Structures are given as structure tokens and as C-alpha cells.
Structure 1
Amino acid sequence: MRRGSKLAPLLLLLGIGATDAEPAPPLPEIDLIRVRKAARLMELWSGDWLVHRIEHIQLGDEPTGPKRFEGDERTPEGRYEIDWGNPASAYHLSLHISYPGPQDRAYAQARGRSPGGMIMIHGQPNSLPQGRVPGDWTDGCIAVSNDEIEFLWESVGDGTAIEILP
């Protein structure tokens, strides 16, 4: 986990306040993030258990189809991992997705292009005082609300698999 305990996100998830008598059990380890692009849905899995859902995710300006090249504004599709986090991002926290993988690089290279990179799960722009940018607006990243990226920051460790589906 990045910072803090697993307990705080679970309390938030369950709506339990600090005044409750019994502490909730810790959040199970998240070992898979599954993104369903068409449904604008992110699922957090622990083993065979779906433990949390984030709805209304935002994608690249061209959300249909896999990312192929730098600048195509598409969100990748495939299996990657979260490999590092950036607390000083231009967005409210960010988690790096290990795109491009070897197949992504080979596809782009065979066509004389760059596959791009720096694909993240992130919050909203730091310059936005509150709320969310409407619609799909990233250059290929996955955007969530600031509260949601804080939850992910606390709950998802480096090495967590991420599967991005059409």
C-alpha cells in the first residue's frame, strides 16, 4: 500500500464514521483492477471477490479501440500493472500503468511510430477548484474523481495487475 492503513478506505467504503464502536476488518489486498471501457467502470478484485466498483471513469478523447500510437488519445487495452505512483502529479495523484508492453512497442515500431507512454490512473486537474471535467478528456489516461484516486492511492500497491477491456 502507498500510505496509511487499509482500514481508512474500508471505513469510507462502508460509510462507517470514527464514532462507531467496533472497527471494521481491513480491506483485502487488491490484486486486480479490471477496467471496462465501454461501461466506464473500474472494478477492484481480491482473489475471486469483487470488493469495490468505481463508476463514471473518464477515458481518452478517442475512447473506442486500443491505444496504438503516441497522440492517438486512446486508452490502452490489455493486461498491464501499476508500477509506481506520483504524489506530485499535475492531477490529483496518479498511478502509472506499465503501458507500453512488448506487443504495443512492436506494433508501433513495425509502423514507424511511437507507442506513447505515461498512461496513468489519475484524479482531476490540480487547476480545477472542484468537481470534474465533463466527458472523456484525457490523452489516453483513466481519470476518476479526486476522492476515488485517494481511495485507489491507499488501496492499490505497486505490482497490482490491471486489465483494460474494450
Structure 2
Amino acid sequence: MRGRKILLVVFIVVFAVAAIYAWYPYSPMPAGTQIDKLVVQKSQRQLLAYEKGKLVKTFPISLGRNPIGAKEFEGDKKTPEGTYFISAKNPNSGYHKNLGVSYPNQQNLERAKQLGKPAGGDIKIHALRNYTGFIGRFQRCYDWTLGCIALTNAEIDDLYAHTAVGTPIIILP
């Protein structure tokens, strides 16, 4: 009987912690912020947003299912590494909203050609697939994309509102 009570208490504590994590309010960037550089640190699972050289916001991220190393070809499930720029904004994405990343660059095209494979493309900073936003912060529990950089819906709303097409993005190992 005592074992069941302990198990019940543990379950309640774990559930409470998970609920707080999932529903703790998101703190958006200040109004008027204009992001002028993004840096992704893949090994630390972070996207850093800068304005005039000052770090404004750090976003925890998920990456491609095969996160170690740079993207080499279409279908390798890796997130690219290198210097790119935000090439497009899509408010009607299948993943809530997205910011396009200018992958592939010339280096990426040459590397894929050496391997005899297509470089691929369509790399985005996006949120959760439409109608799955309830997953929220739990999407960070594992790397699940096909090579993109994933945020929560609230986070992509914030980043989308403050980032212009043409903003540089540096993706580091």
C-alpha cells in the first residue's frame, strides 16, 4: 500500500512539472526589435537572435534527425552548417509559419555534386506541423525535422515578426 502512495506522489509531481513546463507563458521580444543577425549553435540546440550586435533572445531548438555534421545532400536529415540568409517568409506554412534559409549555397552545391547527389533545399526555421501546436515545448525533447530548425508556434510568431528577409544566419556545428 505504501509503495502505491509513493508512486502516486511521484506521478503527481512529474505531471505538475510537465504541466508547468508546457504552459509556462512565453516572453516575447520587446516591440520594435529588429533582428539583424541569427546564429544557430547546433551542438547547444540554440538559435541566438541579435540586434545591433546585442543578443536579444535565445531560442531552444530542435534540428534534423541526424544532427551531427553539415548537410551534404538531399535526404541526409542533417541541418546545414555555414553562412546563409533569410530568403523568404511564409505566413501560411504547413508548419504554422516559417522563415526560409538560403541553403544551398555554392559550397553546398559543389559538395553534393562531388557525392553525385542532389543538394536538396527547402530548409526553414519553422514551428510545429499545423494542428499539432499543443505539443509546444515538448517538441524539443528530440531532433525530429528533416534538416530544418524547429521552434514552438509562439517562438516562430515572435521571430517571424522581428526578422526581415535578407537577415544573415550563421549555422555552427
Q: State the TM bucket, normalised to the shorter chain.
A: 0.7 to 0.9
Moved more, 155-164 or 40-49: 40-49
Give distance in 1, aligned partners of 2:55 and 2:88.
23
The aligned counterpart of 2:57 is: 52
Aligned counterparts, 1:28-107, within 5 A: 29-55=34-60, 57-107=61-111
Other structure's SS at 2:93 match: coil
More helix by share: 2
TM norm structure 1: 0.82
Please say if 1:151 is aligned against 2:158: yes
Superimposed CA distance per residue, residues 79-133 of structure 1 (whole angstroms, 9 cap, x where no aligned partner): 0000101112110101100000001001111221111100000000103151243
Give distance in 1, aligned partners of 2:82 and 2:56.
21
Please say if 1:123 is aligned against 2:127: yes
Task: Report how far residue 63 of structure 1 moved.
Answer: 0.4
In our comparison, the structure showing a higher alpha carbon Rg is: 2
Task: Report how far residue 13 of structure 1 moved.
Answer: 3.3
The aligned counterpart of 1:26 is: 32
- Which structure 2 residue ranges, 5 or more long, are not aligned? 1-26
Give distance in 1, aligned partners of 2:28 and 2:114.
47
Give distance in 1, aligned partners of 2:153 and 2:90.
14
Task: Report how far residue 47 of structure 1 moved.
Answer: 2.4
Output the amino acid matched with 1:151: D
- Which structure 1 residue ranges, 5 or more long, are not aligned? 1-10, 15-24
Give distance in 1, aligned partners of 2:133 and 2:85.
30
How many residues matched? 144
| Contact 2:133/2:153, CA 8 A, preserved across alignment | no
Post-superposition, which runs of at least 4 consecutive aligned residues in structure 1 deviate over 4 A? Answer: none
Root-mean-square deviation (CA), in Å?
A: 1.5
